[in-house]
Amino acid sequence: MNIYGTLGPACAQVHTLEQMLEAGLSGMRLNLSHCSIDEAAPMIEAFHKARNNLGLGAELLIDMQGPELRIGALAEPMKLSVGQSLLLGDDGVPVPNQVLPYLNPGQEILLDDGKIMVRVIKKQGNGALAEVLRGGTLTGKKSICLCGLSIEGPSLTDMDVQNIKKAKSYGVTWLMQPFVRHRHELDTVRRTLDESGCGDVRIMAKIESQEGVDNIRELIPACDEICIARGDLGNAISLWKLPVAQKTIARTCLEAGRDFTVVTQMLHTMEKSPVPTRAEMSDIFNAVLDGASSLMLTGETAVGLYPVEAVRYMSAAAWAALEYMHNQ
């Protein structure tokens, strides 16, 4: 059973990373949606130093930008309240050019993994005016999802390609490819890895759309592991259908003999709380019973107040589930 965390300011100190590794951590994910691999060099160095100090061969995973759509940079965080107007595009919140034609009246939009929701009121200039339906604080480079629409971008951005070319020198062992919908996307990633001298870097395909769920059988042979990425997948489908999608992917992977990872909000409350909820413990336990070979923490370790404790609780719950299965 692998337990992965996510690198971030909350855990980027050698001592903290050592404690996380001792608590059961198998490796760390580096989210390259917000920075380049060079910009993250200090965190990577701290991770390698921690694992070397302990004599452990922990994995380093890079999570690419890929085709996920994101807003542009903001000068400062925006506090959005329900009923407030929000300008998208032009002099407002920068949005990708691909979404501009779809900003039609009535279109609902999710921002920052669905934490914020707005609805387009009218087109305005080279953008649109929207009303905030679900408020929160919006910062730059966060995800944007147009409800009910599938807008595809390139499999790999220019920044992704540059990061891949440097992956070997940073000790990367896994590449996480977001929003995988079709096999050709994974074939592009594999070809780019091979051409960059990273042929031994393994590919984890993140399933974050209904198309990905529907095409899971064609995706499995083209990757080394499947990732059930419940954040954006929960934006793409109704939340009450998310458990069905998770179970469907898990069963298909087991039938094909392919490992899979479960990620997103597994211990979400531990970003601020030193102990998890009972529901979170059950979520981890059931993911293992469903056959997950890996579990992953994101904000809990990247920005949370209790990164070491989060790893400890996840590891304990996972091993309790394995022991339960062994005794059946």
Predicted TM-score of the model (pTM): 0.85
Which tokens hold the place of 103? 């900003």
CA-CA-CA-CA torsion for 110, 239, 280, 135, nearest 10 degrees? 30
Domains of the chain, by residue range, sit at 2-68+152-326, 78-146
Fold of 78-146: M1 Pyruvate Kinase; Domain 3 (2.40.33)
Q: Which of 6, 261, 264, 301 is catalytic?
A: 264
- Own/partner pairs for 271-279, CB < 8 Å, 24+ apart? 271/299, 271/300, 271/303, 271/304, 271/305, 271/306, 272/304, 272/305, 273/306, 274/305, 274/306, 274/309, 275/309, 275/313, 276/310, 276/313
CATH superfamily of 2-68+152-326: Phosphoenolpyruvate-binding domains (3.20.20.60)
CA pair distance 282, 271, nearest whole angstrom: 18
Query: Residue 149's pLDDT is what?
Result: 81
Instruction: Please answer whether residues 140 and 125 qualify as being in contact, where contact means their C-beta atoms are separated by less than 8 angstroms.
Output: no
> Which of 56-60, 128-132, 133-137, 152-156 is the least confident region?
152-156
The verdict on whether 190 is a catalytic residue reads no
**Cα angle 293-277-328, degrees, rounded to a multiple of 5:** 45
Neighbours of 100 (CB within 10 A): 15
pLDDT digit string, tens, across residues 156-168: 989 999 999 999 9
CA pair distance 131, 64, nearest whole angstrom: 31
Rounded mean pLDDT of the chain?
A: 95
The verdict on whether 248 is a catalytic residue reads no
Q: Which of 6, 29, 51, 142 is catalytic?
A: 29
